[in-house]
Amino acid sequence: MRNDLKPSRLSLRDILGLGAVGLRARRARVVLSALGIAIGIATMVAVVGLSESSRADLMAQLDRLGTNLLTAEAGEDENGKPIKLPKSAVAMVERVGPVQHATGTADIDARIRRSDVVPEERSAGVIAQAVGVDLLSTLGGEVDRGTWLDAASERLPTTVLGAVAAERLGVTRTGETIMMNSTRVVVVGILRPLELVPNLDRVAMVGFPAAERHFAFDGHPTTIFERSTDASVEDVWAILPRTISPGNAAGVKVSRPSDALAAKAATNEGLTTLMLGLGAVALLVGGVGVANTMVISVLERRQEIGLRRALGATRNAIRLQFLTESLLLSGLGGITGALLGATATYGFAQAQGWTTVVPPWSLAGGLAATLLIGVIAGLYPAIRASRLHPTVALNGT
C-alpha cells in the first residue's frame, strides 16, 4: 500500500454546489429568509442614493444661483421701533469695491384685487412692493411671460407679478389689469419662481417712481439685495450694515439666501442617518431570519450530515458546507436588495427631476454587510452541524 495518500479536499466548485443544494431543496423558506436581507439592503442603498441625488440637486442649484447674494433688511432701533433705511442706501452699497450688483425693494400700502368689482377687504394674499429695474439681474430671475420693468414702465401704473401672485389673482397673460387700491394697473410681465428669494413670488412689483406717484410711497427701501465677488462675500457682509445705515448699523439685518439651501442639505443629512439606522435594523432582523433558517436546516438534515460523516466527510467540510449555504442565502438577499435599492433611487430621482446618484460604495458596502451577516448567522449552525456524531445523526429522526 502507498503511504503518501492524502485526504481529498473539496474544490471551490464542490463547495458552492453543496451550499446550493440546501437552498434549492427549500426554495420557499430561502425566498422568505433572503427577503429580510433584501429589504434591509434595499433600504440602505435607496436612502444613500436618494440623499446623494438630493444633495447633488441642491449643489447644482447653489452653483446655478450662486452663494454671493446678500440680503439686508431694515430692523428695529434700541426702543423696538422699525427703522427706515436711507433713500441713498442702494447707491452707497454700489460704491463698495467688490459689489457687482445692488438693488432695493420696499413695501407699499396697497390692497390688491383682481378687479374693481371685488371688495377691497377680500385680499388675494398678494402684497405690493416697489422695486428697482435692476432687481431681476441682481437676483438672477427670469421672466416667464411678458417683459420686465424698464426706465419707461417703472414710471407708469404697470406691474410685474411673481409666479404665485399671478396664480392667486388668476392672471394668465400680460395686458390684463388688476386693482391696487383704486388704481387700475396693467400687468406687463409674470416671473418664473425665484428660488433664492421665494417670498417675492407672492408680490406684485411696481417701479419706485410709480409707487411714489400713485401710492404715496416715501422712497425709503426696506430690503436691499447685493451681489459681490465670491471671494469677498464675508468682507462685504461685515461692512454692509454700516454702509447702508451709518448711524444705526445694529438695526440692519444681513443674511445670505443660499444658506437656506445649505441648511436643507444639512437637514437631509440628519434624516439620512436616521433612515440608515432603520435600514440597519431591518438588516439585523434579516440576519436573525437567516440564522433561524440555518438552525432549522441543520435539525432537518441530521441524517444527511451523519451519512456524509460516515462516508468520510471531515468536520471542516461540514462546517464549510453550511457556512457556504448561509453566505449564498445572504448574498442572494444582498444582490436582490442592492438592485431594488438602485431601481427605487432611479425611479424617485427621475420623478423629482434630480440627477440620479447611486454611490458605488453604498452597493459595495451593502454587499459586504450581507456577507458579514451571512458569516455571523451561519457560524453557529455550521459548528453545530460539524459536531454531530455520525452514529447519533444517523439514528436521529
Largest CA distance in the chain: 119
Task: Check whether 176 has a pLDDT greater than 90.
Answer: yes
Q: What angle do CA 131, 132, 134 make, to 5 degrees?
A: 130
Q: In the structure, what pLDDT confidence band is assigned to residue 265 with cuts at 50, 70 and 90?
A: low
Q: Can you say whether the dihedral through the CA atoms of 15, 18, 24, 26 is positive or negative?
A: negative
Q: List 189's β-bridge partners, or say none.
A: 146, 160
Q: In the structure, what pLDDT confidence band is assigned to residue 392 with cuts at 50, 70 and 90?
A: low
Q: How does the average pLDDT of the chain come out, rounded? A: 81
- Phi, psi at 146, each rounded to 5°: 80, -145
The cell for 280 is: 440597519
In the prediction, which pLDDT does 146 show? 94
In the prediction, which pLDDT does 204 show? 94
Number of Cβ within a 10 Å radius of residue 197: 23
Q: In the structure, what pLDDT confidence band is assigned to residue 143 with cuts at 50, 70 and 90?
A: very high
Average confidence (pLDDT) over 71-87: 78
SS3 content of the chain, % helix, strand, coil (to 5): 55, 15, 30
Contact status, residue 241 vs residue 234, Cβ threshold 8 Å: no
Task: Check whether 127 has a pLDDT greater than 70.
Answer: yes
Task: Check whether 266 has a pLDDT greater than 70.
Answer: no
Q: In the structure, what pLDDT confidence band is assigned to residue 1 with cuts at 50, 70 and 90?
A: very low
- Structure confidence by residue, pLDDT tens digits, 35-60: 888 888 888 888 888 877 877 776 67
- Phi, psi at 12, each rounded to 5°: -60, -40
**Max mean pLDDT range (1-10, 189-198, 310-319, 373-382):** 189-198
Q: pLDDT exceeding 90 applies to what percent of the chain?
A: 21
| Separation between Cα atoms, residue 219 and residue 320, nearest integer Å | 85
| 138 or 273: which leads in pLDDT | 138
| 114 or 394: which leads in pLDDT | 114
Which range, of 127-136, 299-308, 344-353, averages the lowest pLDDT? 299-308
- Phi, psi at 206, each rounded to 5°: -125, 160
Reported pTM? 0.60
| Separation between Cα atoms, residue 306 and residue 324, nearest integer Å | 19
Alpha carbon 59 to its chain's center? 10
DSSP-derived pairing of the beta strands 183-191 and 158-161: parallel
Is 156 exposed, middle or buried, given 0-12, 13-18 or 19+ CB atoms closer than 10 A?
A: middle
- Structure confidence by residue, pLDDT tens digits, 233-253: 888 888 888 888 887 777 788
Task: Check whether 117 has a pLDDT greater than 70.
Answer: yes
Contacts for 378 with CB less than 8 Å, ≥ 6 apart = 290, 291, 294, 322, 323, 325, 326, 327, 330
In the prediction, which pLDDT does 288 show? 79
